[in-house]
Chains A and B, each alone.
Chain A
Amino acid sequence: MSGVRVLVGTRKGAFILTSDGKREKWDVSGPHFAGWEMYHLKGSPADPNRIYASQTSGWFGQVIQRSDDGGKTWHQPGTPPGAPAPTSPEDMPKGNSNKFVYDTSAETGNPLTTHQWYDGTQHPWEFKRVWHIEPSLADPDTVYAGIEDAGLFRSTDGGENWKELSGLRGHGTGPKWQPGAGGLCLHTIILDPTDPKRIYIAISAAGAFRTDDGGKSWKPINQGLRSQYIPDPKAEVGHCVHHVAMHPSRPGVLFMQKHWDVMRSDNAGDLWTEVSGNLPTDFGFVIDIHAHEPETIYVVPIKSDGEHFPPEGKLRVYRSRSGGNEWEALTKGLPQSNCYVNVLRDAMAVDSLDKCGVYFGTTGGQVYASADAGDSWNPIVRDLPAVLSVEVQTLK
C-alpha cells in the first residue's frame, strides 16, 4: 500500500503528516522539537526512514537531528540518546553534528573571511543556521547542508561531521555576495540524478551557481536574469533568487522563482529566459514541478516585495502546463477573500503518486494538499505555527 509522509518545518516545531495513497485522511504527529525553529526536514531518497532535520534557535544556535525510523524517534548524529556512559575518551560522543566551520585554509585560494554587508563594506562570514538539507540520491549517510551566511557543507557520515565545499565561496565572486532581507542564505541545493558531479545551488542575494566536478569548482549561472534593484541589472552576481526546481527526468531544465520574475533555463542554467507570462504578479517564493509532467509547473504569486501576501487577498496557486508563459489560477478549496498569508521558499513539494499530489504550507499555519495535481485543494491542518518548509516522501 502506497502512502505519503509530509515533513513540515515551522517556527515552533516540526510536524509529520501521514496518509495512505488516497490522501484523504491524515494523521498529524508533533510538535517535534517544540519551541524550536525547524527550518527544513528532508528524507533520504535512498532510505526513506532516514530523515534529517535542521533545528535552530536564536538562543541556542544550530542543532542537526536525524531519524532512522521515519520520524518516530530522533537523535543528534553522533550523540545517540540513552547511550551507555563512555568508558574512555575515545568512546566519548563527539557532539560535532552542529559544528559548521568555514574553511579558511589556503586551499580555497583566497582568505575567505568577508563578504559584502548591507552598507557595501566587507563583513566577516558568520555561521547562523542551516536553511536547507539535501540528502544524497544514492547514499543515506551523505547529505548536503546550505547555510547562512551562504556556504555549502557536506557530511559523509550521517550528519556527525560536516566539511565545507569551499570552492563555492572561493570561486571569486564570494566577496560580492550580500544578504537579502532574510539573510545571506544558501537555500536551494539540487543534485543531478544523471551526473553525480553536477550540483546546482542558489543564494539570496547572490544568485544561482553550478559545479560540474562534485563541488571543487563553481561558476555563477545568472546570465539572462535582470534585477532592477541592483546597480547593474544584468550583473554576474547579486540576484535575489528565491527558489529553483528541476524535474529529475530533465536535469538540464531549471525553473526559477526570482525575487521578481519566473524564469526557465534549458541549458543547465547557462542562460535564463523569463516565463512570467500572464501571472498577476511575478513576485513569489516557491516553485515546483509536477512529478510526471516536466512542463507542468506551479508557483504562488505574492503581491510584492513590500507586501508579502497574495494579491487581492486571494490565495491562488498558478499552474502552467507549457513550461511557463501561460498560467491558470487554481482556486478550488483555497481561500478567495481576506487571505494575507505568505508561502515561503521551501514550503512547496510534490508526491509521485498518480495523480500527482501537490502540497504547500503558509505563514498562517495551514498546510494545503491537492491529490489531483492542483485542480482542488484541502487543508490537512489549519492552525500550525508559521510554516517554514514542506517536503514530501512518497512511500511504496
Chain B
Amino acid sequence: MIRVELPAHLRNLAQVGREVQVDVEGQATLRAVLDTLEARYPMLRGTIRDHVTQQRRPFLRFFACEEDLSHESPDDPLPDAVTSGKEPLVILGAIAGG
C-alpha cells in the first residue's frame, strides 16, 4: 500500500481527501504509482503528467522522505519508506502568486 498526497485542486477534482492509498502490482516506481492512480481516478489523467509525453507538468514536483524525486527516472524504485507506507509520496504544486 502506497500513500499519495495530492494538492488541493486535484483532491477536489478526484473528490478525495488529502491522501489516497494505492496498491501497485510489481515494482513500485513513480510511473507505476501514477499509472495506478490515474486508472483509479481517471479524472486526474493529464493533470499530473502530459497525456502524450507522460512528462511531469512543469509546476508540479514529486517529494518523498524529504527528497525531491522530480528529476529522478520514473522507473527507479521508490524509497522503501514509501513502498512500506511509512512515508507518503507527495505531489506538490509549485508555490506561486496569482
Enumerate chain A interface residues (CB-CB to B < 8 A): 35-36, 57-63, 76, 78-79, 81-82, 92-96, 98-99, 101
A62 contact set on B, CB distance < 8 A: 46
Q: Which 4 A-B pairs have the closest CB atoms?
A: A95-B42, A95-B45, A60-B47, A59-B59
Chain B: residues with Cβ within 8 Å of the partner, total of 24
B52 contact set on A, CB distance < 8 A: 99, 101
B8 contact set on A, CB distance < 8 A: 35
Contact B42 A93 (CB under 8 A): yes
| Candidates A35, A59, A82; contact of B94 at CB < 8 Å | A59
Contact A59 B46 (CB under 8 A): no
Contact B9 A36 (CB under 8 A): yes
Expressed in whole angstroms, the Cα–Cα distance for A4 and B70 within the complex equals 48
Given contacts A95-B38, A99-B51, contact A79 B9 (CB under 8 A): no
Chain B contact residues, majority secondary structure: loop
Enumerate chain B interface residues (CB-CB to A < 8 A): 7-10, 13, 15, 38-39, 42-48, 50-52, 57, 59-60, 93-94, 96
Contact A79 B51 (CB under 8 A): no
Given contacts A60-B9, A101-B52, contact A95 B59 (CB under 8 A): no
Given contacts A35-B9, A59-B60, A60-B10, contact A94 B42 (CB under 8 A): yes
Contact A95 B15 (CB under 8 A): no
Give the Cβ gap from A22 to chain B, nearest Cβ, in Å: 36
Contact B15 A57 (CB under 8 A): no
B48 contact set on A, CB distance < 8 A: 60
Give the Cβ gap from B17 to chain A, nearest Cβ, in Å: 15
Contact A99 B46 (CB under 8 A): yes
A101 contact set on B, CB distance < 8 A: 51-52
| Candidates A57, A81, A94, A95; contact of B9 at CB < 8 Å | A57
Expressed in whole angstroms, the Cα–Cα distance for A101 and B52 within the complex equals 8
A98 contact set on B, CB distance < 8 A: 45-47, 51
12 residue pairs from A and B, CB less than 8 Å apart? A36-B9, A60-B10, A60-B48, A61-B46, A63-B13, A63-B47, A78-B42, A95-B38, A95-B45, A95-B46, A98-B45, A99-B45
Expressed in whole angstroms, the Cα–Cα distance for A60 and B96 within the complex equals 13
A63 contact set on B, CB distance < 8 A: 13, 43, 46-47
Expressed in whole angstroms, the Cα–Cα distance for A92 and B36 within the complex equals 12
Give the Cβ gap from B36 to chain A, nearest Cβ, in Å: 12
Q: Which residue of A lies closest to B15 (CB)?
A: A81
